Chains A and B, each alone.
Chain A
Amino acid sequence: MTGLLLQVFIYLLAAVIAVPLAKRFGLGSVLGYLIAGLVIGPVLGLVGDETEAIQHVAEFGVVMMLFLVGLELEPRALWDMRHKLIGLGGLQVCITTLAIAALALMLGQPWTVSLAIGLVFSLSSTAIVLQSLNERGLMKSDGGQASFSVLLFQDIAVIPMLALIPLLAIPELLDAQHSVADDGHAQSLSFVADLPGWQVAGITLLSIAAVILGGHYLSRPLFQFVAAARLREVFTASALLLVIGISLLMSLVGLSPALGTFLAGVVLANSEFRFELESVVEPFKGLLLGLFFITVGAGIQFDVLTDNFGTVLLLGLGLIALKAGVLLLLCRVFSIAGADKWLFALALAQAGEFGFVLLAFTVQNGVIPPHVSELLLLVVAFSMMMTPLLFIAYERWLLPRFDAVQTAENEEISESAEIIIAGTGRYGQIINRMLLSSGYPTVVLDISAETVGRMAKFGVKSFYGDAARPDLLQAAGLENAHMLIIAIDDPERTLEITEYARAQRPDLHIVARASDRLAVYRLFQAGANDIIRETFDSSVRAGRSALEALGIHPFEAEKMASTFVARDMKAMRQLAEVYDPDIKTEENQAYIDLAKTIQEDTQQAISKSRLANKGAIDRAWRPPGSSAES
């Protein structure tokens, strides 16, 4: 127990110190984690053999990341990128594999080993690239999208690679390997291991169908059931259950868990629970990925590195140059230009975490001799560690040269800026209907899964989640939103949301629902732009109806009502000056006195002036000659 706590303590401490430092120096979190790993592993020797075991757990962060990426990607968007996915991704994997294999062949490796090395190095690091792209807000750029397509294809390509590699086995190596205990990466449990090919294919397809159909039809009732309990941790548990369940199913049938959860994410991208799922899974993903990056740093074999430093450096840089070269070539074919071209080429130039998996797999299957594999592991790790530096190089030196292109892109984003509506009860619903029917897309959040479900029956899309939670607001797109409309009926939460949103986005337009006059003062203080008292307008209308029912001409009743509103608005400003948040209003004498005076004035303006044919009401029209003397 103490040992475990100590390990956890060391890992967390390293992350807590290194990551903020790396961020402060503009190096990005990935490099921070890698350095933290380097320090606690090879440099200080605080952690050791357990690194690999931890890495298996930490790899689950990649699975979660792909689930989150899927959530952001609607099925239609995925379909739209099919050409890029297959064309760009397929060509990248094939050409890079062949080029590296050719190089390895020239360096004197047998062709089987060369091909295996080509396969291992053709893959890039989904974890590092996506994390870095997201962190820098580059995910939506053309370069980011192209990178994502290729990474996705690579995740799929791992499956046939795992099937291909055993065929490259060198018999003597295999014999030697059989005496060694099973490596942790080996699949210990499988449905399909001993089945004929067509059955494997059938089960694979069935599993994918199960993920898609289950995600589409079963997830909603499940989440509704769970959300009805209103226990956040149970929702978190069910989200994790979903991700882990799919991963389990995928690994049972020999598919990549990352691919399965990605598909589930895509299926759920249209679900009303999307933002809630995102905000729940996000911290797990972050922590696990961070852990993964640390283990990469910590896992570097220092003695092998010092012995072969020159070779590793040379091979690592050569690998990056070669992969970047292939990617640049592809840019030409797929007409990716400008800053995006360099982003694409530099982002994917490393070898990735699948490289670790495949290398272990090749050793175990007797394809690559262990001493070569040890060296290659260092090359993979080295190229991964270089990636954050390449991103920095891109941002510092390459991006500024293409500044004009980038500005145009930013404008595009602001055009599609969204309106977030918090709360779709009686109040928010009307706002949403007005905006939608005027052609403005909205993102609607509501804390009641029941309301969200009911709205969905009427064809109105909304998302389940508590808008008072910063992470949910972020998931809903607060960062790029054009406007935030707070329509919930909880004054305290309205205030919290306003304060948080204002702190995050000084330029955001905030429309806030206020319960009463005092809430108006507080919301004004918190920085809301438009503050609307929830019952004021309807009360005024009710009052006007009463006046009409008393026999007052409708137009006159309208004038009285508008006079009342104008007076009330003025009174609100006057009272704000004597309002003191530290004194209860019923004990604030100045406030009470002013309120009384204002009430008297309003009466003067409306009823008394009406009787005397003089005053605000009759300003609208008075016959000539009746004004001066009366």
Chain B
Amino acid sequence: MHKVLVLYAHPAQRHSNVNAAMAQRASQLEDVSFVDLYAEYPRFKIDTDREQQRLRDHDALVLQFPLMWYSTPSLLKEWIDLVLEYGFAYGDGGTALAGKTLLLACSAGSAQSAYCSEGFQQHSLPTLLSPLLQTGNLCGMQNLPPYVLFDALGASEAELDRHSAGYCQLLRALRDGQINPDSASGLELISADSLPQLLEPTP
């Protein structure tokens, strides 16, 4: 069993379409530590020591957030800046995160079709997320493909529900070590649709 830490960052949760529901479910899961960063640090005074200890105590880190300006909400960026210190997460002696798993779970405003060179957003989502993925790499973490909901503002109730249920399933699989590494490495992104493929046991 893997200990999973979910860091949830959303600055305006009353306006959330999908993240609040995802967070609601994730926080109910047994043996998954769930942290609402904006509730813990409403004044952005992050306790670096405490956060680093939290990372040491877990095997997998999940960053859940709505995509804002092709990046994380500002508090999560602050968290990254402060907590992933030299000598702790990277650099000389910085091996605290080595071998741990990193999963990004984010919602995007535009439809998937917009995220390509011909599209409105001009870049694919993995390209836009590459700073975060590279952060995981530099820390020696195993990146899972990001779990993404496109067109989060236009999605139907059923789609939203499916996405948050899938999120829950993914977290459980992560916790119980049921993710197939081969299928994971073959995927660029995960959605509720591609989830079964990821969870198939290795033949």
Interface residues of A, Cβ cutoff 8 Å to B: 553-558, 613, 618, 620-626
Contact B15 A555 (CB under 8 A): no
Complex CA distance for A613 and B39, rounded to whole angstroms: 20
CB closest chain-A residue, reference B154? A625
Partner-contacting stretch, out of B6-14, B174-182, B190-198? B6-14
Complex CA distance for A12 and B189, rounded to whole angstroms: 97
Contact A553 B15 (CB under 8 A): no
The 0/1 profile, CB within 8 Å of A marked 1, for residues 9-50 of chain B is: 001111101000000000000000000001110110000000
Contact A553 B38 (CB under 8 A): yes
Cross-interface CB contact of B14 among A553, A554, A558, A624, cutoff 8 Å: A553
Q: Give, as a whole number of angstroms, the nearest-CB distance from B77 to chain A.
A: 14
Complex CA distance for A82 and B13, rounded to whole angstroms: 71
Contact B13 A553 (CB under 8 A): yes
Contact B12 A618 (CB under 8 A): yes
Contact B153 A623 (CB under 8 A): yes
Does B109 interact with chain A (Cβ within 8 Å)?
A: yes
Q: Give, as a whole number of angstroms, the nearest-CB distance from A148 to chain B.
A: 51
Q: Give, as a whole number of angstroms, the nearest-CB distance from A282 to chain B.
A: 48
Residues of B within 8 A of A622 (CB): 12, 15
Complex CA distance for A622 and B14, rounded to whole angstroms: 10
Complex CA distance for A553 and B19, rounded to whole angstroms: 15
Complex CA distance for A575 and B17, rounded to whole angstroms: 42
Number of A-B contacts (CB under 8 A): 40
Residues of B within 8 A of A558 (CB): 42-43
Residues of B within 8 A of A625 (CB): 153
Cross-interface CB contact of B38 among A555, A613, A624, A626, cutoff 8 Å: A555
Complex CA distance for A557 and B43, rounded to whole angstroms: 10
Among A555, A613, A620, the one with the most B-chain Cβ atoms within 10 Å of its Cβ is A555
Given contacts A553-B13, A555-B11, A618-B12, contact A624 B42 (CB under 8 A): no
Contact A620 B42 (CB under 8 A): no
Residues of B within 8 A of A621 (CB): 11-12, 15, 68, 73
Given contacts A553-B38, A553-B39, A554-B38, contact A626 B15 (CB under 8 A): yes
The 0/1 profile, CB within 8 Å of A marked 1, for residues 41-79 of chain B is: 011000000000000000000000000100001000000
17 A-B pairs in the complex with CB atoms less than 8 angstroms apart = A553-B13, A553-B39, A554-B38, A554-B42, A555-B11, A556-B12, A556-B14, A558-B42, A613-B14, A621-B11, A621-B12, A622-B12, A623-B109, A624-B109, A624-B153, A625-B153, A626-B15
Complex CA distance for A558 and B40, rounded to whole angstroms: 12
When A and B form their complex, which 4 residue pairs have the shortest distance between CB atoms, in order from nearest?
A558-B42, A555-B38, A554-B42, A621-B12
Given contacts A555-B11, A618-B12, contact A623 B39 (CB under 8 A): no
Residues of A within 8 A of B11 (CB): 555, 620-621
Complex CA distance for A532 and B40, rounded to whole angstroms: 28
Contact B42 A623 (CB under 8 A): no
Q: Give, as a whole number of angstroms, the nearest-CB distance from A320 to chain B.
A: 68
Complex CA distance for A586 and B45, rounded to whole angstroms: 41
Complex CA distance for A194 and B98, rounded to whole angstroms: 90
Residues of B within 8 A of A618 (CB): 12, 15
Contact B109 A555 (CB under 8 A): no
CB closest chain-B residue, reference A553? B13
Interface residues of B, Cβ cutoff 8 Å to A: 11-15, 17, 38-40, 42-43, 68, 73, 109, 153
Residues of A within 8 A of B109 (CB): 623-624
Given A621-B12, A621-B73, A624-B109, 8 more pairs with CB closer than 8 A: A553-B13, A553-B39, A555-B38, A558-B43, A621-B11, A621-B15, A622-B12, A625-B153
Residues of A within 8 A of B42 (CB): 554-555, 557-558
Cross-interface CB contact of A555 among B17, B39, B68, B153, cutoff 8 Å: B39
Complex CA distance for A328 and B65, rounded to whole angstroms: 79
Contact B12 A620 (CB under 8 A): yes
Residues of A within 8 A of B12 (CB): 556, 618, 620-623
Among A556, A613, A618, A625, the one with the most B-chain Cβ atoms within 10 Å of its Cβ is A556
Complex CA distance for A553 and B37, rounded to whole angstroms: 11
CB closest chain-A residue, reference B75? A555
Residues of B within 8 A of A555 (CB): 11, 38-39, 42
Residues of A within 8 A of B15 (CB): 613, 618, 621-623, 626
Complex CA distance for A556 and B38, rounded to whole angstroms: 9
Complex CA distance for A557 and B38, rounded to whole angstroms: 11
Q: Give, as a whole number of angstroms, the nearest-CB distance from A620 to chain B.
A: 6
Residues of A within 8 A of B43 (CB): 558
CB closest chain-A residue, reference B11? A621
Complex CA distance for A626 and B12, rounded to whole angstroms: 13
Residues of B within 8 A of A557 (CB): 42
Among B12, B13, B39, B68, the one with the most A-chain Cβ atoms within 10 Å of its Cβ is B12
CB closest chain-A residue, reference B17? A623
Residues of B within 8 A of A613 (CB): 14-15
Q: Give, as a whole number of angstroms, the nearest-CB distance from B163 to chain A.
A: 16
Q: Give, as a whole number of angstroms, the nearest-CB distance from A626 to chain B.
A: 7
Residues of B within 8 A of A624 (CB): 109, 153
Q: Give, as a whole number of angstroms, the nearest-CB distance from B104 to chain A.
A: 19
Residues of B within 8 A of A626 (CB): 15
Complex CA distance for A419 and B153, rounded to whole angstroms: 56
Complex CA distance for A359 and B12, rounded to whole angstroms: 91
Residues of A within 8 A of B153 (CB): 623-625
Complex CA distance for A620 and B14, rounded to whole angstroms: 12
Complex CA distance for A623 and B109, rounded to whole angstroms: 9
Complex CA distance for A621 and B38, rounded to whole angstroms: 13
Q: Give, as a whole number of angstroms, the nearest-CB distance from B42 to chain A.
A: 4
Residues of A within 8 A of B39 (CB): 553-555
Q: Give, as a whole number of angstroms, the nearest-CB distance from B145 to chain A.
A: 25
Complex CA distance for A554 and B13, rounded to whole angstroms: 11
Residues of B within 8 A of A623 (CB): 12, 15, 17, 109, 153
Complex CA distance for A624 and B152, rounded to whole angstroms: 11
CB closest chain-B residue, reference A562? B43
Complex CA distance for A620 and B17, rounded to whole angstroms: 17
Q: Give, as a whole number of angstroms, the nearest-CB distance from A509 to chain B.
A: 27
CB closest chain-B residue, reference A618? B12
Complex CA distance for A554 and B38, rounded to whole angstroms: 7
CB closest chain-B residue, reference A620? B11
Complex CA distance for A554 and B39, rounded to whole angstroms: 5
Q: Give, as a whole number of angstroms, the nearest-CB distance from A101 to chain B.
A: 75
Complex CA distance for A51 and B73, rounded to whole angstroms: 86
Complex CA distance for A557 and B13, rounded to whole angstroms: 12
Q: Give, as a whole number of angstroms, the nearest-CB distance from B68 to chain A.
A: 8
CB closest chain-A residue, reference B110? A624
